[in-house]
Amino acid sequence: MDNFKFTVGPAPHIEKTEDTSKIMFWVIAALLPITIGAIYIMGTPALIVIAMSIAGSVGAEALWHAVSKKPMTIADGSAALTGLLLALTLPPQVSWWLPLFGGFIAITIAKFIFGGLGYNIFNPALVARAILLLSWPAQMTKAWLEPVNIDAKTMATPLYIAKKIPASFDAQAFIKSFLFTNKAGSIGEVSAVLLLVGAAILLFKKIIDWRIPFFYIGTVAFLTFAAGKNPTFYVLAGGLIIGAFFMATDYVTSPITPRGRIIYGVGLGAVTVLLRFYSNLSEGVMFAILFMNMLAPLIEKYSRPRVLGMAGKAKS
């Protein structure tokens, strides 16, 4: 005991099981089923988009740290995750430089300009997607792979057909196609089933809170049903599943309070349905999430949990 080397530090003194990078890698792991499934179905084009997007985001992270001289945070996995998420929202046949540029702006414009991990207001992957969509609308809405069996001529997405060409819309045929087929849509829309496998992993590992996806999807289903449309189709179509489980649940940009997450989920559902039915767009998930990102701090402020014993606090 004479030459004992003491380590000192603040309590608590015992090990916990989670850290930031473990959480990020679990989210990436949960996205592997859909990623592998998409590459299997779509082949090389999807692989190129995914690789370029991750290269763009991780490269931007490295560059930023070289410029800012702050400690390297690539190892926490958050940049790679942003790149992967962005790739899953892109069509498979875009030019190779588009996802590269997208990954780069996701990290620089949406993340580091706001102060880096933990400080960004908007979901970085969706900011990048919004910028790409507004800058290169033709590529972003037409570079789908040739659909195998559904409406090969128009190459329109199921939601587009439902909205703009109701005459050729068959909800039941589309619902079957959402399970695991190639159709007009983004890489991550290949299979709702594989996305749900990943969602189940995140819920089981308690990495995401059930409240946001439950109230988001629940609200969409309820409102579409109330509007006399097919809720199953509108839940499975487009980016709702990937958005509800993997993007709306982004820690940094969603409310931190339990009640706030319920309000947030309901708000997301309402805005998505509004956009899908009443705007010029056929899809509404991306702008709904970006819009609700903006409201998250406000929702959080007014949804704090009840503090134990505060009601009886002695007035001083």
Tell the smallest beta-carbon distance from residue 21 to other proteins (Å): 9
Tell the smallest beta-carbon distance from residue 295 to other proteins (Å): 15
Tell the smallest beta-carbon distance from residue 252 to other proteins (Å): 5
Q: Which of 1, 134, 138, 167 binds other proteins (CB under 8 A)?
A: 1
Name the token pair of 112: 């580091």
Q: Please count the residues of the chain.
A: 316
User: Would you say 186 or 253 has its CB closer to other proteins?
Assistant: 253
Q: Where are the alpha helices (DSSP H) in 89-136?
A: 97-107, 124-135
Q: Is 4 in the site for other proteins (CB under 8 A)?
A: yes
Tell the smallest beta-carbon distance from residue 117 to other proteins (Å): 5
- Quote the crossing angle between the two packed helices 192-204 and 20-42, to the nearest 10°: 170
Q: Is 204 in the site for other proteins (CB under 8 A)?
A: no
User: Would you say 22 or 176 has its CB closer to other proteins?
Assistant: 22
Region near other proteins per CB under 8 A, out of 55-63, 99-107, 112-120, 123-131? 112-120
Tell the smallest beta-carbon distance from residue 22 to other proteins (Å): 7
Instruction: Decide: helix, strand or coil at residue 27.
Output: helix
Q: Is 294 in the site for other proteins (CB under 8 A)?
A: no
CA distances from 283 to 11, 76, 243 (A): 49, 32, 12
Q: Do residues 174 and 157 make contact, with C-beta atoms less than 8 angstroms apart?
A: no
What backbone torsions phi and psi does residue 255 show, to the nearest 5 degrees? -65, 150
Region near other proteins per CB under 8 A, out of 43-51, 86-94, 217-225, 307-315? 307-315
Q: Is 14 in the site for other proteins (CB under 8 A)?
A: yes
What backbone torsions phi and psi does residue 305 show, to the nearest 5 degrees? -65, 160
> Residue for token digits 């490295």?
62
Q: Is 71 in the site for other proteins (CB under 8 A)?
A: yes
Tell the smallest beta-carbon distance from residue 251 to other proteins (Å): 5
Q: Which of 175, 256, 281, 295 binds other proteins (CB under 8 A)?
A: 256
Q: Is 69 in the site for other proteins (CB under 8 A)?
A: no
Q: Which of 136, 210, 251, 277 binds other proteins (CB under 8 A)?
A: 251
- Quote the crossing angle between the two packed helices 192-204 and 171-180, to the nearest 10°: 60
Cα(268)–Cα(263) distance, rounded to whole angstroms? 9
Helix (H) or strand (E) holding 103: helix 97-107
Size of the site for other proteins (CB under 8 A): 44
Cα(315)–Cα(43) distance, rounded to whole angstroms? 67
Contact residues: other proteins, CB under 8 A: 1, 3-16, 18-20, 22-23, 71, 116-119, 209, 251-252, 254, 256-258, 304-314, 316
